[in-house]
Amino acid sequence: MPDLLRLSAYEGAQLRGETLPLDAHVNTRGKVGLTLRVPCGVVVAITPFNYPLLLVVHKVAPALAAGNAVILKPASQAPLTALKLTEVFLQAGLPPNALQCLTGPGGSLGAALCADRRVRKVTFTGSTAVGERIATAAGVKKLSLELGSNSPVIVLPDADLELAAQATATGGYVNAGQVCISAQRVLVHRKIYGSFVDALKPRVEAIKVGASLDEAAELSAMISEGEAERVSRWVQESVEGGARLVTGGRRDGAVYAPTIVADVTPPMRLFREEVFGPLVGLTPVESADQAIALANDSRYGLGAGVFTRDLSSAWRFAREVQTGNVMINWSPLWRADFMPYGGFKGSGIGKEGPRYAVEEMSESKTVVFHGV
């Protein structure tokens, strides 16, 4: 986290404009043009529950570095970290009105903040449905929306199956699967489908489930019992529709066991919607063409991954799959803080990552001197 703060501060210090070659245009003698980067003004930052410190800093630090004032509205389920961070910033000498943290329900408080005419920029991480409501409420404002996902993984016949299974067992279950770039839809070539299931199952069954404060636990409770119940319903729907439960499928309160569902088909909700839980769905495919078509058969487009030893296949996947982040020979669940991060289609608009967020948090102003 300190590195992310320092990097944001550095990128804020790199804001610069450019000179404009006005003499390339007719009747512009005696004129000098340039651009300036200026702060947006007031930025509203609305953050989710799943990484209540990291994702707050990804918004607040670039906004402050660009010279803005920030109103932070953390998720109602996890506000305490944001409140403490605000306190720390103010104790460190941040001007009192540079950062304010307001807690409350997103439906009323968040909507009021987004609609306020004094706000010039809204940055939000959360579901696509809420992002659409924010875009409607905000009106003519700058928006950065990091929204839902349904990340596909393609496993081709020449893939390293052990690597693919290990990466899937990691990328599908970190943070109880409550990560927008979790591996969710694994599209496996039929030639190796059975072998991949056999390689993945013991790795998922080896995930240690325990209490949240148990340092040895690798998977614990979801954000609420209601969310665990929802995942359970989706799994049951899929099994009733012809899918096969390979492992897991058990719920204990808010804890849902790490689960694999095989033979998932495109009409199923597990294939079409964002699960946001400790679950991976497997779908057999007949070819790379079908795998790419199914990967793109989604209203989302945040992250994707492909496993192959063939460079041409990797490049084809990188070019043709409609996502903002593409991982070659790893799960979609990988992010470095400084890289550009954001999605296509219903997964949002704009980019995070300090350099890109600082640019999103500022505006370009054109200045022309006449008679120089």
Question: Mean pLDDT in runs of 10 for the chain (372 residues)?
Answer: 93 94 84 95 97 96 98 96 96 94 92 96 97 96 96 98 97 97 98 98 97 92 97 98 98 97 97 97 98 98 98 97 98 96 97 96 96 71
For residue 320, indicate whether it is catalytic.
Answer: no
Whole-number pLDDT of residue 96:
86
Whole-number pLDDT of residue 372:
63
Q: Could you tell me if residue 56 is inside a domain?
A: yes
Q: Could you tell me if residue 8 is inside a domain?
A: yes
Q: Could you tell me if residue 55 is inside a domain?
A: yes
What CATH number does the domain containing 217 carry? 3.40.309.10
Q: How far apart are CA 152 and CA 142, in angstroms?
A: 29
Pick the catalytic residue: 11, 146, 227, 359? 146
For residue 132, indicate whether it is catalytic.
Answer: no
Q: How far apart are CA 118 and CA 116, in angstroms?
A: 5
Same domain, 307 and 161: yes
Whole-number pLDDT of residue 23:
85
Same domain, 140 and 157: no
Q: Could you tell me if residue 173 is inside a domain?
A: yes
What CATH number does the domain containing 35 carry? 3.40.605.10
Same domain, 200 and 128: no
Q: Could you tell me if residue 133 is inside a domain?
A: yes
Same domain, 136 and 179: no
Domain that holds residue 138: 2-147+343-370
Q: Could you tell me if residue 104 is inside a domain?
A: yes
Beta bridge partners of 35: 366
Beta bridge partners of 142: 121
Question: Into how many domains does the chain fold?
Answer: 2
Same domain, 84 and 216: no
β-strands 362-370, 99-101 pairing:
unpaired
Same domain, 324 and 366: no
Pick the catalytic residue: 180, 274, 352, 359? 180
As given in the structure block, the two tokens for residue 92 are: 């460190």
Q: Could you tell me if residue 337 is inside a domain?
A: no
Query: How many other CB atoms sit within 10 Å of the CB of residue 106?
Result: 19
